[in-house]
Amino acid sequence: MSPPAIAAEGLTKRYGRARGVTGVSLTVERGERFGFLGPNGAGKTTFIRLALGMLRPQEGRVAVMGHDLATDRMAALGEVGYLPGELSLYGSLTGRRTLEMLARLHPRPPVLRDELLEVLGLETGDLRRAVRQYSRGMKQKLGLVAALQHDPPLAILDEPTGGLDPVVQLRLVEWLDARSRTGMTVFFSSHVLAEVEALCDRVAMVRDGELLLVRDVSDLGLGAMRAVRVRFSEPVARERLAVVDGIEDHAVDGTEHRFTLTRPPGPLLAVLGTLPVADLVVAPFSLEDAVRTLYRPGAGNGSAA
Amino acid sequence: MGVVLGLSLVRARVRIAVLAVGFGLFELVVALSYASIDQNAIRSLVETLPPALKAFSGASDIASPSGYLGAAYIHPVALTIQGALVISMASAAARDTETGAAELILSRPLQPWRWLLAQTAAVAIALAVVAGGGFLGGLLGIAVVDDLGGVSGAHLLVACAGGALVFAALAGITLLAAVLTRGGARAVGWAAGIAVVSYALNYLSEVWTVAEPLGPLSVFNHYDPGVITGTGSIGAGDWIPLAAAAVVTAVAAHVLVQRRELAGA
């Protein structure tokens, strides 16, 4: 059996007062599409830089594609395509020259370059221009081509859709989905929860440098959960709904009640039929809702797998 | 490694070309001005200067053709041109780490020491080109100014090589500063500060007997182009300390860059 794409054990990295990561253990299997979620400063980029050997952990170890970063970093990097979250390119080089230069630093040939240029909408004319003339979105596209042009077995993408317009974001997610089916492991951090939900098999959530949970997207139970908002024509006590099984995070604001429903809606509808309902909105529970719930101050931590 | 070497040279190509041409023109203008001076007047002027000002002219006879032409290679303009080149190029590692450009390169399978070695080679090539520009300017001056006809082109070449060795030492110091500090501005600041202190130390050692024993600690103490242009040689007591400073600092930088974290938080 092949070793995991990423195997981190107890990774800890602190920077004085600044947060880093603390005791992060995480395994990403080959061929997985893995989403890494967290707010700014949660430790996502620090973890990624540790996984690339750009930073050294104070504790713990990490292996990438079976190569221990502490002893065999070059072999590991030969199998990785990486897009930094804070992309910095050489402004005086043209787009074409940038891609060629970065391709020559990688042992794998840039077999996917043309395909990626087409998917991301970078044209020949764009590549002839100096990178300093590029918009943020164009730089991001160039960075993506540079990271993925080698058809790397492991793609590590830090905020890959930043600066891209929605159409290109969608095309990128579809392209990554297709590549992952041919064996590419995709590990990416993102704030765009919809794309993580659409693409990923599993997600990890970090907060304050600690891993909150690692779950299959399907195991988050999002399919059965509903975000409910009910507005009554007159104030209704919270206790009137307490009889319904599966209501969580119940908030009341005047005549409006908001809560999460984790069970089938039949009993709720039966109770609501006895109350003066003025408006009712029942929406599928999204990953965004789940994250909001998890990141709520004082929310209990889930277990990391 | 060749990719990074090429990248470093491409990024600095305009700087290298401008400084090489500027250095050459400066040396040519100095050489051309020799035809218009009264050698005896210069000599007697220098003799009347107080030691604090006379120290700027070095140990050679500044009114002689070789002394006059050679002194131009330690003129503040010549020093600034070469100093600006090596400090700006040798601090690139710190600047690229600060901006994140290093992250893009070093996330490829390239050892940090090889990355730094390529940048070191680029500094060496650029320094050779700029020093070469200065040499060609002086050589052209020798060719067109009759009074400088007696100056040996080979001796001038040795003087320029000696100057390059001084700035190779400064490049090594800058590389070390770039590896030890966070941020390009800090690396430039440290390197420029060390260069200025070194220059001041050399000057003080020549005008103040108390400071004289400290003179050899300055890289500029080991370089007197007026004398070299006349004799055509650099003493072992001068080139060995300069070469050692360049090699030791550069090797230390290459060892330390392997241990350095090449990205921020």
Per DSSP, the residues of A146-198 read HHHTT--SEEEEESTTTT--HHHHHHHHHHHHHHHHTT-EEEEEES-HHHHHH
For chain A, the maximum distance between any two Cα atoms, rounded to a whole number of angstroms, is 71
Residues A174 and A27 in one domain: yes
Of residues A79 and A264, more confidently modeled:
A79
Lowest mean pLDDT segment, chosen from A39-43, A137-141, B117-121, B198-202: A39-43
Distances (CA, A) of B107 to A4, A9, A65, A94, B5: 19, 21, 15, 21, 17
Is residue A62 one of the residues assigned to a domain? Answer: yes
Is residue A303 one of the residues assigned to a domain? Answer: no
pLDDT at A302: 42
pLDDT at A131: 95
**Mean pLDDT of the region B140-169:** 94
Instruction: Answer whether residue A304 shows pLDDT above 60.
Output: no
Q: Do B265 and A82 touch (CB under 8 A)?
A: no
pLDDT at A301: 43
Q: Which residues of A touch B10 (CB under 8 A)?
A: 92-93
The domain containing residue A245 runs over which residues? 226-284
Is residue A298 one of the residues assigned to a domain? Answer: no
Lowest mean pLDDT segment, chosen from A63-77, A255-269, B154-168: A255-269
Alpha-carbon gap, residue B65 to B81, rounded angstroms = 23
Residues A102 and A171 in one domain: yes
Beta strands A6-15 and A18-28, pairing class: antiparallel
- Phi and psi angles of residue A2, each rounded to the nearest 5 degrees, phi first: -70, 145
Per the CB < 8 A criterion, the answer to whether A289 and A227 are in contact is yes
Residues A243 and A205 in one domain: no
Is residue A196 one of the residues assigned to a domain? Answer: yes
Report the CATH number at residue A63.
3.40.50.300
Instruction: Answer whether residue A261 shows pLDDT above 90.
Output: no
Quick one: chain A helix, strand, coil %, rounded to 5?
30, 30, 40
| Chain A CB within 8 Å of residue B1 CB | no
pLDDT at B58: 65
Is residue A251 one of the residues assigned to a domain? Answer: yes
pTM: 0.84
pLDDT at A284: 72
Residues A246 and A116 in one domain: no
Residues A213 and A235 in one domain: no
Q: What is the pLDDT of residues B49-66, one digit of tens each?
A: 776 666 666 666 778 899
Token pair of B183, please?
């941020």
SS3 B79: helix
Per the CB < 8 A criterion, the answer to whether A204 and A26 are in contact is yes
SS3 A123: coil
CB < 8 Å from A in window 68-107 of B: 99-101, 103-107
Q: Which residues of B touch A79 (CB under 8 A)?
A: none
In the numeric block, the tokens 């209990």 are attached to A300
Q: Which residues of B touch A88 (CB under 8 A)?
A: 99-101, 103-104
- Closest C-alpha to A37, from A233, A187, A242, A251: A187
Q: How high is the mean pLDDT of chain B? A: 91
Lowest mean pLDDT segment, chosen from A104-113, A156-165, B2-11, B56-65: B56-65
What letter would DSSP give residue A94? B
Is residue A75 one of the residues assigned to a domain? Answer: yes
Is residue A193 one of the residues assigned to a domain? Answer: yes
Cα dihedral across residues A99, B9, A130, B112: positive or negative: positive
Q: How many domains does chain A have?
A: 2
Per the CB < 8 A criterion, the answer to whether A305 and A215 are in contact is yes
In the numeric block, the tokens 């990719």 are attached to B3
Residues A103 and A39 in one domain: yes
Q: Do A106 and B105 touch (CB under 8 A)?
A: no
Of residues A131 and A206, more confidently modeled:
A131
Q: Do A105 and B99 touch (CB under 8 A)?
A: no
| Chain A CB within 8 Å of residue B258 CB | no
pLDDT at A305: 39
Residues A173 and A30 in one domain: yes
Q: Do A92 and B3 touch (CB under 8 A)?
A: no
Q: Where are the alpha helices (DSSP H) in chain A?
A: 44-51, 73-77, 95-104, 113-120, 124-127, 136-148, 166-181, 193-199, 266-272, 287-294
Residues A87 and A212 in one domain: yes
Token pair of A244, please?
């319904």
Token pair of B109, please?
């399978």
User: CB-CB: which of A15, A75, A106 is closest to B265?
Assistant: A15
Chain A closest-CA separation from residue B222 CA (Å) = 38
Residues A119 and A230 in one domain: no
Which chain A residues have any C-beta within 8 angstroms of a chain B C-beta? Answer: 15, 18, 20, 45-46, 49, 52, 54-56, 73-75, 77-78, 80, 82, 84, 86-90, 92-93, 101-102, 104-107, 143, 146
Amino acid at A19: R
Residues A64 and A160 in one domain: yes
Q: Name the pLDDT band for B170 (thresholds 50, 70, 90).
A: very high
Residues A62 and A157 in one domain: yes
Report the CATH number at residue A265.
3.30.70
Per the CB < 8 A criterion, the answer to whether B157 and B142 are in contact is no
Q: What is the pLDDT of residues B203-242, one digit of tens each?
A: 898 888 888 899 899 999 999 998 999 999 999 999 999 9
Domain boundary among A185, A217, A249: A217
Residues A192 and A79 in one domain: yes
Instruction: Answer whether residue A247 shows pLDDT above 60.
Output: yes
Q: Where are the alpha helices (DSSP H) in chain B?
A: 2-11, 13-33, 39-48, 51-54, 65-71, 76-90, 92-99, 101-106, 112-144, 153-180, 184-207, 225-231, 236-259
**Mean pLDDT of the region B159-169:** 96
**Mean pLDDT of the region A20-48:** 90
